Amino acid sequence: MGTLKPQEARRIDALLGRMSLAEKLGQLTMMAATHTVTGPVITGHSTDDIRSGRIGNLLNLIGAGAAREMQRVAVEESRLGVPLLIALDVIHGHRTLFPPPLAEVALFDPEAWRLTAREAAREAAADGIAMTFAPMLDVSRDPRWGRIVEGPGESAWVGRRLAEAKVRGFQGNDLAAADSIAAVAKHFCGYGAVTAGREYASVDFSERALREVYLPPFAAAVNAGVAAVMPAFTDLAGIPMTAHAGLLRRLLRLELGFDGVLVSDYNAVAELIRHGVAADLIEAAALALRAGVDIDMVSGAYLHGLPAALERGLVSLAEIDESVRRVLILKTRLGLFEDPYRRGAALESAATLAERRRLAREIGARSIVLLTNPVEALPLSGSLRRLALLGPLADAPGEMRGPWWSAAQPDTQVSVLAGLRAAWPQARILHAPGVEIAGEDGSGIAAAVELCEAAEAVVLCLGEAATMSGEAASRAHPELPGRQRELAEAVLQRARARNIPVVAALFSGRPLIVPWLASQASALLAAWFPGCEAGHALADILTGRASPSARTPISWPRAVGQIPLYFGQRGSGRPADPANSYSSRYIDESNEPLFAFGHGLSYTRFSITNLRVRPESAAASATVEIDVDVQNEGSRRGEETLFLFVRRLQGRVAPPLLELHGIGKIALEPGARGTLRLHLPVAELRSLGPDLEPVLEPGELEILVGPSADRASLLAGRLTLVV
């Protein structure tokens, strides 16, 4: 957590020396505020509990005025005047929303990831917030799990880069600055692997999977100086993470060197009782504290259970003090003792807010993946006169926020309808929802289909409501809900009869399984939830003002039965072979995703040739340079993203089929040719040997570079490791 100045360390010692047990437990307690017409209310408590020091931290307090007032009570009216830590889930923006994390991952641009976190931090800090429960770093290969939208997707390598970028963005260069907020890496660890993608379900995987897949993003966050970590709600092989001393104390704190604050998830300490590992709040509190959890979020277990736990000898005062000290250090690092009111002190200027919305539009457009465009229906012609805009997401501004909208109001989101009207002022936009997002009412389908009669093109906005992904939003059928398929099929049929294109845009927090739509639509876009400028961002893509450049961050399944589906899987002693029924394959479905990880088209075409690997034989200390020539073969400027994969040919542990080791981007004018150089430090090629110790095994590897994880799209070279 960085070193404190001597006077800061002395202040913490002095405070600890003066605190009563109740005041100490207050520092270890975070309670939730909600808003009523009369102002903030602390659920089950009152401001008196801040005054008495029984509550030292708050979440969900929105608005600089409310934050300032609560802070004033803590600082000016409590006995010791310890400032409050005020936290909120600022996941993809605060008032100005960017696309949610998975959609942002589709940019494959760490600098953009950092920038949106920086802007979110500035905006949240201007509202008095000092900590965000982000970034979410749960690698997940299961689109049934609604929270896949909040994180890095399927790749641990992406998770590491996302962790670094987001921690740097939220925390800035100086955590004490008025526009920096503390980041919380969550949910440690393995939450993305809940059984069958079912929310809050049990998790069980090998220590190898832990170390290869689920842990690396958290290690990267710790290295980047993340201020806090949140254990997951879930258990790992029977031990709830909130009570997992082995992973929290030994692995996270001792092995990874994390010395920041551990904040429980919402009510998770009390939920140790429901997990079946604690008899009551007293045992639950003792288990969590002993595992190293410093702050109890809302369960009240620390407040009500720790005094008895202390009396019974289940915890020691030294353990309580250790946690209080960590909380006070964090408050010190945030500059809260120096000036508790620095966040939320000044309004942001109109110019700053306008610039932030401009960025939201740009990032929104850059997150939209062009999945198919076989007949080049996109971009649509600028001279369109009549456009049918159909589907339940066409005029749904609030839904454009996606899950976790912090303080963003529905009426500040730009709907697709509004965006298209602005983009085609001369055209008539014929709009009908046809059906609701979910629900059985199909009575609007016929009227929507009728609008195709007069139109020159159809834009069909389909998908999920914002609350159908995110927390508590697992879906056993990750497809189009309600009667949307019926609407889409009727529209496709009418449009075919009239020979007009149907561009389908999917709004969702996960890849939706829609192979039938992919094969029938004239073009298919994964729009995710594009954020507050959604309509303009989509219009930028539809009109061709921006050329699509995003790539799917998830291997896109063609059937639910393929899940979990990911490029980094290991092979088999009987690899898939269509001619051999005793090989690793389905008898009723292809093994391949509908769209490979990294797939995404643009309005131009690129060719890649001439892969060079230098040196071709390298030792542990070397950095290998990998060059590839890229040519823009189309008639538009565009940006190509290339992935660097490695395939180990042999090892003592069966190697994954592909390992991601880098991303490169190159922007080229029409007809232009350039060279993209990627760097691969050989040390990065260490893998975990049979005993889980990192090893660099000598031998040959394949170096693969290309636009996606589809093997056929990759150029291959060789590298020999001499170690």
User: Known catalytic residues?
Assistant: 265
- Our CB check for ligand BGC shows the closer of 169 and 655 to be 169
DSSP β-ladder status, 131-132 and 85-88: parallel
- Our CB check for ligand BGC shows the closer of 90 and 281 to be 90
Residue 57 belongs to what H/E stretch?
Answer: strand 57-59
Q: Minimum CB separation from ligand BGC for residue 428, in Å? A: 44
Task: Pick out residues in 306-335 that bind ligand BGC (CB under 6 A).
Answer: none
| Separation between Cα atoms, residue 326 and residue 324, nearest integer Å | 5
Collect all residues with Cβ–Cβ distance below 8 Å to 533 and sequence separation of at least 6. Answer: 357, 360, 361, 364, 414, 419
- Our CB check for ligand BGC shows the closer of 149 and 504 to be 149
* Nearest of 383, 462, 454, 394 to residue 423 by alpha carbon: 383
| Separation between Cα atoms, residue 310 and residue 288, nearest integer Å | 13
Among all chains, which residue has been given the structure tokens 């692997």? 193
Q: Is residue 166 near ligand BGC by the rule CB under 6 A? A: no
Q: Minimum CB separation from ligand BGC for residue 395, in Å? A: 29
Q: Is residue 235 near ligand BGC by the rule CB under 6 A? A: no
Q: Minimum CB separation from ligand BGC for residue 697, in Å? A: 38
User: 351 and 89 in contact (C-beta within 8 Å)?
Assistant: no
- Nearest 5°: the CA angle 83, 89, 95 is 100
User: 299 and 306 in contact (C-beta within 8 Å)?
Assistant: no
Q: Minimum CB separation from ligand BGC for residue 261, in Å? A: 14
| Separation between Cα atoms, residue 136 and residue 167, nearest integer Å | 11
Q: Is residue 138 near ligand BGC by the rule CB under 6 A? A: no
Task: Pick out residues in 177-206 that bind ligand BGC (CB under 6 A).
Answer: 186
Q: Minimum CB separation from ligand BGC for residue 33, in Å? A: 12
Total binding residues toward ligand BGC, as defined by CB under 6 A: 7
- Our CB check for ligand BGC shows the closer of 181 and 427 to be 181
Q: Is residue 154 near ligand BGC by the rule CB under 6 A? A: no
- Our CB check for ligand BGC shows the closer of 134 and 642 to be 134
Q: Is residue 533 near ligand BGC by the rule CB under 6 A? A: no
| Separation between Cα atoms, residue 510 and residue 553, nearest integer Å | 10
Q: Is residue 271 near ligand BGC by the rule CB under 6 A? A: no
- Our CB check for ligand BGC shows the closer of 266 and 597 to be 266
Among all chains, which residue has been given the structure tokens 């979020």? 297
Helical segments of 475-606, H only: 484-498, 515-520, 534-543
Residue 440: phi and psi, rounded to 5, are -105, 5
- Interface pick for ligand BGC out of 98, 266, 337, 566 (rule CB under 6 A): 266
Q: For ligand BGC, what does the binding mask look like between residues 72 and 111, x meaning CB under 6 A?
A: -----------------x----------------------
Q: Minimum CB separation from ligand BGC for residue 405, in Å? A: 12
- Interface pick for ligand BGC out of 199, 471, 592, 639 (rule CB under 6 A): 471
Q: Is residue 145 near ligand BGC by the rule CB under 6 A? A: no
Helical segments of 513-634, H only: 515-520, 534-543
Q: Is residue 218 near ligand BGC by the rule CB under 6 A? A: no
Task: Pick out residues in 236-265 that bind ligand BGC (CB under 6 A).
Answer: 265
Helix (H, G, I), strand (E, B) or coil at 503: strand
User: 284 and 315 in contact (C-beta within 8 Å)?
Assistant: no
Q: Minimum CB separation from ligand BGC for residue 60, in Å? A: 7
Q: How far is CA 612 from CA 215, 252, 627, 701, in A?
A: 33, 40, 5, 14
Closest residue by beta carbon to ligand BGC: 133
- Interface pick for ligand BGC out of 108, 113, 133, 529 (rule CB under 6 A): 133
Q: Minimum CB separation from ligand BGC for residue 135, in Å? A: 11
Collect all residues with Cβ–Cβ distance below 8 Å to 328 and sequence separation of at least 6. Answer: 12, 15, 16, 27, 82
Q: For ligand BGC, what does the binding mask look like between residues 12 and 51, x meaning CB under 6 A?
A: ----------------------------------------
Using CB under 6 A, list all residues that contact ligand BGC: 59, 89, 133, 186, 265-266, 471
